[in-house]
């Protein structure tokens, strides 16, 4: 049995992973678990990384940029749609996590992106 600590969108979780063919020491079935105080992130929240100028908004899943709804230098409100990302034939709105100004656009319409690719930065 191996234990790992992972962080997803700022929330830490401890998981236990059983190697195939390995039998738990206690003889009972084990499951991955998260601490009781941790809550999973909201499904529609954009993944954000801090670093560089301001807050960086990255792709939460792989897909294609359908529309960019903002321009560099534009002021945005918290919750405002920044761009639309198509993934598995569904349109996903990427929204501003806070009010600010679009510092720089890194994605363009029609561009394919992977999870974690930088879309834009806010200041």
This model's pTM is above 0.75: no
Measured in degrees and rounded to the nearest 5, phi and psi for residue 83 equal -160, 165
Please, what is the average pLDDT of the chain? 78
Domains of the chain by residue range: 1-41, 47-122
Which tokens is 42 given?
């909201």
What is the structure's pLDDT at 53? 60
What is the structure's pLDDT at 50? 40
Do 46 and 84 meet the contact criterion of CB atoms below 8 Å apart? no
71-95 pLDDT, tens per residue? Answer: 999 999 999 999 999 988 899 999 9
What is the structure's pLDDT at 8? 77
Selected from 2.40.50.100, 3.40.50.970, 1.10.8.60, 1.20.1050.10, the CATH number assigned to the domain covering 47-122 reads 2.40.50.100
35-53 pLDDT, tens per residue? Answer: 545 454 444 444 444 444 6
């Amino acid at each position: 049995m191996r234990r790992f600590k992972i962080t997803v969108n700022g929330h830490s979780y401890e998981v236990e992973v059983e190697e195939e063919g390995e039998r738990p020491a206690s003889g009972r079935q084990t499951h991955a678990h998260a601490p009781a105080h941790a809550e999973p992130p909201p499904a529609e929240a954009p993944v954000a990384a801090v670093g560089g100028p301001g807050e960086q908004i990255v792709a939460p899943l792989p897909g294609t940029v359908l529309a960019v709804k903002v321009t560099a230098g534009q002021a945005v409100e918290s919750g405002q749609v920044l761009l639309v990302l198509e993934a598995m034939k569904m349109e996903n709105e990427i929204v501003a996590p806070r009010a600010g100004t679009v510092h720089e656009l890194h994605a363009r319409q029609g561009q394919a992106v992977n999870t974690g690719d930088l879309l834009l930065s806010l200041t």
